[in-house]
Amino acid sequence: MNKLQFKILKKDKHCAARYGEIITPHGKISTPVFIPVGTLGAVKSMSPDELEEIGYEIILSNTYHLFLRPGDEIIKKAGGIHNFIGWKKPILTDSGGFQVMSLQKFRKITDDGIEFQSHIDGSYHFFSPEKVMQIEQNLGADIIMVLDECTPFPSSYEYAKKSADLSLKWAIRCKEEFQKSNSNQALFSIVQGSVFDDIREENAKQLLEIGFDGYAIGGLAVGEDKEDLNRIVKLLCNILFEHKPRYLMGVGTPIDLLENIEKGIDMFDCVMPTRIARNGTVYTKKGKLIIRDSEFKEDFKPIENDCNCYACKNFSRAYIRHLIKIKEILGIRLTTIHNLTFYCNLLNDIRSAIMNDNFMEFKRKFIERYRRQNGYYNTN
């Protein structure tokens, strides 16, 4: 029996945005929530204490990668992933379905599961739905995901239908295996179907009939137009249970968050804020700033004047640019701290706006300011 609880505390009067909380064995998660990605058990360059100090209540790790290194059995012996990585708050583990798509040359999909070759050492492995549940239970995350195929884009209608049907069969097998244990984990399913409305609708309704603790929307942000993404999310938010968490996987620009929270999404994850930080790019309320550029060589202002992060309180753009140019690891630590703080603050502001029935006005003002100069801005 799982112990996840989801409560909607406030709905905005002017749209479908909602403020709520997810209760897990390792603590509370305020929603809407952005989940930093710690694929191999660490958010790159960040310590658990730093993430907690910023305000994060949950992180994400990946079953595929942890299975290969260091191995789920080692993590189990350590007392589970929380003990192994030193993060005491909630953790979500993805099942590896996205890696099935992104590492296509290393895998073969059958009705029984996925045969794949390790991208690390070339060794062969097989993921069945049952095997993935066993691995995720060994890892011990609070929220675990069913095995699915993240349908590639573009796909034909026929392929998308076949893929969604296969993911549905795997979801059933995952739940059957999951129910054999006395786990207090929560099991989320994943809606697939590419950009085809009828496949998505059918897949979602079938998953609702089976019953899961939460429902994710997968297979988006893989190359489709924004119009398709927005249409599919709106369609599914009108179908998926209101009393269960809705999770939009792998979608995470600031504007994406705002657009989809308006539709009723509760959970997001994305590598973008940490990835672009390592490339010398930071988020601000006026758009993205490429701090490694020469224009910041003698700019002694903080990244953002009203930001409360460690980087902005202590260092200038010129110094951070210098660190990045000389490839000093402190540089990407500072840009990562700033970007994660930016996202955490944005979500705090969004939740406050929902509580005050002011989300739509907040969204309008944020996007108007953020989109100046096509998402980038010149500080001169």
The pLDDT assigned to 374 comes to 47
Averaged pLDDT for residues 270-277: 97
The pLDDT assigned to 377 comes to 45
- Whether residue 2 has pLDDT greater than 90: no
Does 252 lie in the same domain as 281?
Answer: no
Residue 200 lies in a domain: yes
From 214, 248, 270, give the residue that closes a domain: 270
Residue 32 lies in a domain: yes
Averaged pLDDT for residues 72-95: 98
Residue 367 lies in a domain: yes
Residue 89 lies in a domain: yes
**CB-CB contact of 306 with 345 (8 Å):** no
Nearest-angstrom CA–CA distance, 234 and 254: 18
- Whether residue 329 has pLDDT greater than 70: yes
- Range(s) of the domain holding residue 149: 5-270
The pLDDT assigned to 379 comes to 41
SS3 362: helix
Nearest-angstrom CA–CA distance, 198 and 284: 39
From 270, 297, 324, give the residue that closes a domain: 270
Q: pTM here?
A: 0.96
The pLDDT assigned to 100 comes to 62
What single string gives the DSSP state of each residue in 92-129? EEE-SHHHHHHTGGGEEE-SS-EEEE-TTT--EEEE-H
The pLDDT assigned to 104 comes to 64
From 270, 305, 340, give the residue that closes a domain: 270
Residue 139 lies in a domain: yes
The pLDDT assigned to 43 comes to 98
**Which one is predicted more confidently, 146 or 375?**
146
For CA atoms 46, 55, 363, 201, the dihedral sign is positive
Averaged pLDDT for residues 307-335: 98
Beta strands in 200-337 (DSSP E): 214-217, 246-248, 267-269, 281-284, 287-290
Is 269 catalytic? The answer is: yes
Does 288 lie in the same domain as 266?
Answer: no
The domain that contains 156 carries what CATH number?
3.20.20.105
Q: How confident is the model at residue 101 (pLDDT cuts 50, 70, 90)?
A: low
- Which amino acid is it at 32? P
Does 144 lie in the same domain as 59?
Answer: yes
Q: SS in 3 state form for 296-312?
A: HCCCCCCCCCCCCCHHH
Does 281 lie in the same domain as 242?
Answer: no
The pLDDT assigned to 378 comes to 42
Does 242 lie in the same domain as 326?
Answer: no
The one catalytic residue among 148, 266, 269, 299: 269
Average pLDDT, the chain: 95
Does 139 lie in the same domain as 176?
Answer: yes
Tokens 């179908």 found at: 239
Residue 109 lies in a domain: yes
The pLDDT assigned to 380 comes to 32
SS3 246: strand
Q: How confident is the model at residue 372 (pLDDT cuts 50, 70, 90)?
A: confident
Averaged pLDDT for residues 327-342: 98
Dump pLDDT digits (tens) for 152-166. 899 999 999 999 999
Q: What is the number of domains present in the chain?
A: 2
Does 363 lie in the same domain as 281?
Answer: yes
Does 327 lie in the same domain as 223?
Answer: no
Dump pLDDT digits (tens) for 197-232. 999 999 999 999 999 999 999 999 999 999 999 999
The one catalytic residue among 72, 94, 213, 266: 94
Nearest-angstrom CA–CA distance, 336 and 329: 11
Does 147 lie in the same domain as 88?
Answer: yes
Residue 161 lies in a domain: yes
Cβ-proximal residues to 105 (8 Å cutoff; 6+ apart), any chain: none
Does 281 lie in the same domain as 263?
Answer: no
- Peptide bond preceding 32: is omega within 30 degrees of 0, i.e. cis? yes
**Which one is predicted more confidently, 269 or 182?**
269
CA-based max dimension of the chain: 62
Say if strands 91-94 and 59-62 run parallel, antiparallel, or are unpaired: parallel
Does 205 lie in the same domain as 261?
Answer: yes
**Which one is predicted more confidently, 43 or 120?**
43
Does 303 lie in the same domain as 210?
Answer: no
Residue 380 lies in a domain: no
